[in-house]
Amino acid sequence: MKKTYCCLGVSSFAVFQVLFVLQVFGSPLVEVLKTPNEGIQPRIAVDDEGRLHLIYFSGDPMGGDVFYSYRDKGESEFRSPLQVNSRAGSAVAVGTIRGPQMAVGRDGRIHVAWMGSGKVAIKGVKGEHPKPPMVYTRLDDSRKAFEPERNLLTWTFGLDGGGSVAADRLGNVYVAWQGRGPESPDGEFGRAVFVTHSGDDGQTFKVERQANPEPTGACSCCGLRAFVDRGNQLRLLYRMAEGRNRDMGLLTSSDSGQTFGLKRINQWQIEACPMSSAGMTDGDGGLLVATERISKVEVLRIDSNPQGERELSLALKETREGKHPSLATNERGDRILVWAEGAGWKKGGVLQWQAYDRQGELIAESGTERIDIPAWSFASVATRSDGHFIVIH
């Protein structure tokens, strides 16, 4: 293996970014980039045309802004960024799991959702609404600007742990969060997962509805993740809160978010909120889920047929306070797991990653070069159009 370095100029972005390319069998398998403009909490995705999309947070963690950029297939530079939020300071990043989320929908339209900072008043669908808001926006029809953000809360409140957005190629968009309703019991056990659905590419949304079919609670400071799999099923992954039980709950809907089935995975008995996050992606024969448990990152395969779950036979590094995992796969069946080692409150930790082939053999991993992740941030990974992986931290 040979590691090479070069400088990447990025339009009107930061002066230089350092690009690390790990050469595996003579080809760059993993590209690692720093978030532009000293940004944090990057989210990346690749559309059907091979365009790489990026959003990130910048500014005061208690009330900053969200930016978007992209680079086309075959390019090495990102375009000049667009500010996503029209109200300055309306996004929040404190806690690491509350930042902006992104999804690519029909015709490559970008959808963005985030937990509002509470510093800026954003009326709900039915007028005034308790803060903080669950905010959503999308690229407008010109694809040159974002629409004014909207608060999607109508009757729920007490938003925490951020939220998430997912979309498919049929025009469906989903925004999910965990919070409370007017009749909710006190404490974390009274919290629930809620989801709202748009069938017209985010132009309009239905009133939110509770997704978890049984009371499980929701860990207030843990992240929630939404994902539409290749079978157009909506998946919602969240951490439960039933006393010491902090298992992960996987909610699956095959009817556009009308009804959900609940599967309990990744059991964890702990006395306090672990401030965890998780990742999902399509895999060979099922859904791949990366979670945190007992200060480690773990990968599970949720088999499509037969229904079941099993831990993947990946030779993962022994992690110490491994947090904020992200996953990606390519058409060859290769997969990569990215995470932060030693992350915590106001501490981003050190970037780590490992890539495996279809048989589960390790084919590449982060080396001895230390790459620090900024406070309140994490790393995200996606599959480029050429089948190689890109990591942005």
Beta carbons within 8 Å of 78's beta carbon, 6+ residues apart: 10, 11, 13, 36, 54, 69, 70, 71
Rounded distance between C-alpha atoms, residue 209 and residue 190, angstroms: 15
Look up the pTM and report it. Answer: 0.90
- First-to-last alpha carbon distance for the chain, in angstroms, is 22
What b/e readout covers 245-283, taking b as 16+ CB neighbours within 10 angstroms?
A: ebbbbbbbbeebbeebebbebbebeeeeebbbbbbbbbb
Average pLDDT over residues 54-80: 95
Say if strands 296-303 and 157-167 run parallel, antiparallel, or are unpaired.
unpaired
Q: Which domain range does residue 205 map to?
A: 2-392
Domain containing 10 — which CATH number?
A: 2.120.10.10
Residue with tokens 């969200």: 66
Give the percent of the chain with pLDDT over 70: 86
Number of domains in the chain: 1
DSSP 325-362: EEEEE-TTS-EEEEEEES-BTTB--EEEEEEE-TT--E
Rounded distance between C-alpha atoms, residue 238 and residue 217, angstroms: 10
Query: Which segment of 1-5, 74-78, 351-355, 360-364 scores lowest on mean pLDDT?
Result: 1-5
Average pLDDT over residues 147-172: 94
Beta carbons within 8 Å of 30's beta carbon, 6+ residues apart: 21, 22, 24, 336, 353, 355, 364, 388, 389, 390, 391
Residue with tokens 């409370």: 180
Instruction: Name the more confident of 309 and 101.
Output: 101
CB 11 within 8 A of CB 78: yes
CA dihedral 187, 188, 193, 196 (to 10 degrees): 50
Report the pLDDT value the prediction gives residue 165, as an integer from 0 to 100.
98
> Does residue 90 carry a pLDDT above 60?
yes
Rounded distance between C-alpha atoms, residue 50 and residue 228, angstroms: 19
